[in-house]
Chains A and B, each alone.
Chain A
Amino acid sequence: MNTAVAASPTQRLDRRRVYIFPSRAGFTLGAMLVVILLGAINYDNALGYLLSFLLGGMFLVAMLHTYHNLAGLDFLGAHAAPVFAGERARFECVIGNPWPRARLALALMRRPRGATRAERRRLAREGAAFDLAADSTLAVGITLDAPRRGWLSPGRLRLESGYPLGILRAWAYFACDARCLVYPAPHGSLALPYAATQAAGSTDMALAGADEFAGLRPYASGDPVRAIAWKTLARERELMIKRFHGQGSIELELDWRTVANLGDVEAKLSQLTAWVLEAERRGARYALTLPDHAVARGHGASHRDACLRALALFGGDA
């Protein structure tokens, strides 16, 4: 599995990490409490005093309950499957509740440092709402745009809850160092560079599906629907792809120099990405040569992913 998972240790929400502050509704209630108290003083009304103090006490109790709803939860890390640039990356953030008490009305969202007000509001809307049953662990999906190839990090995450009265909001931040690998967006108009290859006794004919069955591999995005092993679906619960070997398989050389006339680096990488996917779909054996990296000839999902990874990280350091 080619997932980039943070190897960070569990982060527990203890006292120092949980913040709490009245929400907008809380301020409204607070203002009303002041009005009731002033009225009680003015009319020297004993029950008015009692009610304002009772509601004040309720505020305090709500604070403890709201804090309690968030405290002690564990952030166990996050992982995300690679995506192509332009798609949305989905980070599965694993949150554990090791306590015998359900935690309700939680929301997880991204909250990068220095986010503007509008940004914060948008991120809160995009956030995931969920509940944690007693003694449970849950993977909560946070999606975000992956506009560019390379590593994508969700940045700081915020877990918050206003339960049970909504007049206070408790929140905590997690440093999420999980990364999602973003491949270049696959596009380009050039055909596969057959000419540059030395096909062993065969011309550019449709090759996939021709020959002997060579086993199954898990489905990956971009695989043709006709290659899906439908019969095994019921057994395996997972989409599998039928793979074939044959004398007819072609060998391709996907070389940076082949796309030299495409000018822009990103356009070149996109073209190569499209070729990698196409070649893999066709069951070809292909090699990838980049100025700073080369992947030897091969085929199959892990080979494809190695190529895509090289393309994604081209020019970068990792």
Chain B
Amino acid sequence: MNHGELSVREVSWVAAALLAGLVPHMQRFPALLTLAFVGAALWRVLGARGRLPLPDRAHPALWVLKQLVAVSAFAGIYIAYHGQLGREAGVELLAALLGLKLLEMRNARDYYVVSFLGYFLVVTNFFYSQTMFTALYMLALVVFITAVLVQFNTPPAYRSSRAVLRLAGLMTAQAMPVMIVAFLLFPRLPGPLWGLPQDAFDGVTGLSDELTLGEVARLGLSDAIAFRVEFEGAVPRARDRYWRGPTLMHSDGRTWRVARIGDAAEQRVEARGPRYRYRVTLEPHQERWLLGLEMVTRAEPPALRTADLRLVAAKPVRRRVSYALSSVVDYRLLGLSASERRAALALPAGYHPRARELAARWAASGGGPLAIAERALDFYRREGFVYSLTPPPLPGDVIDEFLFETREGFCEHFAASFVTLMRAAGVPARIATGYQGGEFNSLADYFVVRQRDAHAWAEIYDEQAGWVRVDPTAAVAPTRVSLGLGDALPASAGSARGADDGVAGAFLARLRDGIEAVTHGWNRWVLSYTTLQQQRLLERFGFDGVDAGKLVVALTLALAAVTLVLAALILAATRRRSDPAQQAWQEFSRRLGRVGLARAPGEAPRAFAHRVARARADLAAEVIAITRLYTRCRYSRAGGDARGLLRRVRRFRPRRR
């Protein structure tokens, strides 16, 4: 279309679409930027209405003002981010640019660019949120921006907001099958293609691969989801649900760290109880280790099982991953090399003298490692140890102060002090970290494990029994292990969940479970859909050994099929004929049009007939007769003979004069 000046309506629609696109960002934007953008949008709309002069060359003062605002916005963003164009700065720059572009928008080309940038704005939201709600909002915005384009291309006489929005919605709906097919089959390239800005994965929390006393307390209060587990068949009991992560071997007296490479010996598992088969969907934590039910006997990619039975991914987990595992909870874990034994007995020189003294006494009184461990647990039970998420600080020797003075702490304190005591007594020991428990979602049949379920416990080595799990926390607060953190603490200790009691509580719990179930489906099928899921999907359809090349072929074929169906649907409307009377009238008008007597748009049948009759006396009788037949077919209640009309029209062959 040849567009002249942009109309008020056109300007308002695109401004509204951009504002809607910016709304989710506004909570993060500096207020000034939001204000400037809204101001620019308003100015442009009022300018289109002729209420305000626009800042163009005709108004030099305004033009200078606009340039000043623009320059100061860019400078402000540059200074605020110290010239580093990361994610946040990028989005703010885009907003500033859009405001400016909106003000300067003059012709069709500007209009298209601004509208397309609206689509781009939608993407920037995905850096911050990928929830289902975000996706729905995206969909609404896409419909809106498409409507902006449809309206721009629709002649004013046909521009009803409803028709425009309907067409935009219809087109978006028709584009969905293409989206789904492409999403399922587009080969996923291993990213990143280029360096990511430093703030790309901000705000992601999780278990750490080192433990300084006090760390896990922070997790203890977080309701964020760590991972979800779906069991196939049997489900282990709550007190057996230890989700094992990294084991910590080295201590410097305050901080515990994972074993160095080379320390680990090959280990083997002897399963004794039933096997549990399940699938874990892990939230990204930026580390390589994965979590599984203790003890994993079989892992499917992307989960890998190392020789020393750690569970890892090939790359740091930067997005949700999903993997299938088999585990046993009753087992014997055997294998300890000489170097590993040394590491599992090492204590930093000069630390924890009182703990060593106590442990030496236990060791002297004889018995194997298991007997010594039992003595230690007795010690915790008898000596008035208290489980607390807010223990007093330990400024000196953390282990000795905890064991002999404060006696108040949470899993880390118990695990670390227990391992120290074991090593001092000559029993190889290490700290295992991970999660314990998890709540069951009854609607979706899976467990949700939250960050507040993070846990630490101990493993000691016995020559016969192998590595044995000992949870000293359970000795002090048994409910922490059987019911979970929320129930182990007194109400005042700040469980992150409200009291779920009564009918309303039960309803709310069900509602929460429902939302959680939908979210999980979304996470699993959309957000963590990767190469692996792709292969699994195609295997289900009988395609094995899928690679990128085959995917491209499959994608092309599927897209062709979808296109054919869409084409049939969309073009079917063309093939649909009007009723016979209308068809006959069409043919009649066309035949007259061919001899230079075209019917004007909107010309009523009778007026048309009279005009033709006047111009061509030779045709007058037939034209008037046919028109009369047609009006009878269309407008008379009794109806007319449409077929007869059609026959008569076919016989009507006007010639030129």
Chain A contacts to B: CB under 8 angstroms: 1, 3, 5, 7, 10, 24-25, 28-29, 32, 35-36, 38-51, 53-58, 60-62, 64-65, 67-68, 71-72, 74, 76-77, 79, 92, 94, 96, 98-102, 104-105, 107, 125, 129, 131-139, 162-167
Give B contacts to A, CB under 8 Å: 1-2, 108-109, 112-113, 116, 119-120, 122-123, 126-127, 130, 134-135, 138-139, 142, 146, 149-150, 152-155, 157-158, 167, 171-172, 174-179, 182-183, 186, 188-189, 191-194, 196, 200, 318-319, 526-529, 563, 566-567, 570-571, 573-574, 576-578, 582-583, 585-587, 589-590, 593-596, 598-602, 656-657
**Contact call B146/A44, Cβ cutoff below 8 A:** no
The 7 A-B residue pairs with the shortest CB-CB distance, nearest first, are A57-B178, A57-B175, A53-B182, A25-B112, A47-B126, A53-B179, A54-B179
Contacts of B135 in A (CB 8 A): 47, 50
Chain A residues with CB under 8 Å of B167's CB are: 164
Instruction: Give the residues in chain B near A38, CB-CB below 8 Å.
Output: 193
What distance in Å separates the Cβ of A212 from its nearest Cβ neighbour in chain B?
A: 26
CA distance in complex: A102, B573 (Å)? 11
* Known contacts A102-B158, A136-B599: A51-B656 contact under CB 8 Å: no
Bound Cα distance from A102 to B157, whole angstroms: 12
Assess A71 versus B571: contact at CB under 8 Å? Given A43-B196, A135-B582. Answer: yes
Interfacial chain B residues near A29, Cβ < 8 Å: 112, 116, 119
Q: What are 21 contact pairs spanning A and B, CB under 8 A?
A: A28-B113, A28-B116, A45-B130, A46-B529, A50-B135, A51-B119, A57-B175, A57-B176, A57-B178, A62-B171, A64-B563, A92-B598, A94-B596, A96-B589, A98-B587, A98-B590, A101-B574, A105-B155, A135-B582, A137-B593, A164-B171
CB neighbours (8 Å) of B175 from chain A are: 54-58, 60-61
B239 vs chain A, min Cβ distance (A): 36
Find chain B residues with CB under 8 A from A53 CB: 178-179, 182-183, 186
Residues of chain B within 8 A (CB-CB) of A41 are: 188-189, 191, 193
Query: Given B2, B116, B191, B596, which contacts A42 in the complex, CB threshold below 8 Å?
Result: B191
20 other A-B residue contacts (CB within 8 Å) besides A60-B175, A105-B154: A10-B594, A28-B116, A29-B119, A39-B123, A40-B123, A46-B526, A47-B527, A54-B176, A55-B142, A56-B182, A57-B177, A58-B142, A58-B171, A65-B570, A77-B594, A98-B590, A102-B158, A105-B1, A137-B589, A138-B601
Q: Is the CB of B153 within 8 A of A57?
A: no
A43, B191: Cβ atoms closer than 8 Å? yes
Contacts of B601 in A (CB 8 A): 132-133, 136, 138
Return the chain B residue nearest A24 by Cβ.
B109
Q: Which B residue sits closest to A166, measured CB to CB?
A: B153
* A43 with B179: CB separation less than 8 A: no
| Residues of chain A contacted by B566 (CB below 8 angstroms) | 60-61, 64
**Which residues on the B side are within 8 Å of A51 (C-beta)?**
119, 122-123, 126, 138, 142
In the complex, what residues of A have CB within 8 A of residue B171's CB? 58, 61-62, 65, 164-165
Known: A50-B179, A60-B178, A61-B171. A72 touches B563 (CB 8 A): no
Contacts of A43 on B, CB cut-off 8 Å? 127, 191-192, 196, 200
Complex Cα–Cα for A67 and B558 (A)? 22
Which A residues touch B563, using CB under 8 A?
60, 64
Question: Contact between B116 and A32 (Cβ–Cβ < 8 Å)?
Answer: yes
Bound CA–CA A51/B178 (angstroms): 11
Q: Are B152 and A94 in contact (CB under 8 A)?
A: no
Cβ contact within 8 Å between B130 and A46? yes
Q: Which residues of A contact B177 (CB under 8 A)?
A: 57
Shortest Cβ distance from B183 into chain A, in angstroms? 5
A166 to B528, CA, bound (A): 35
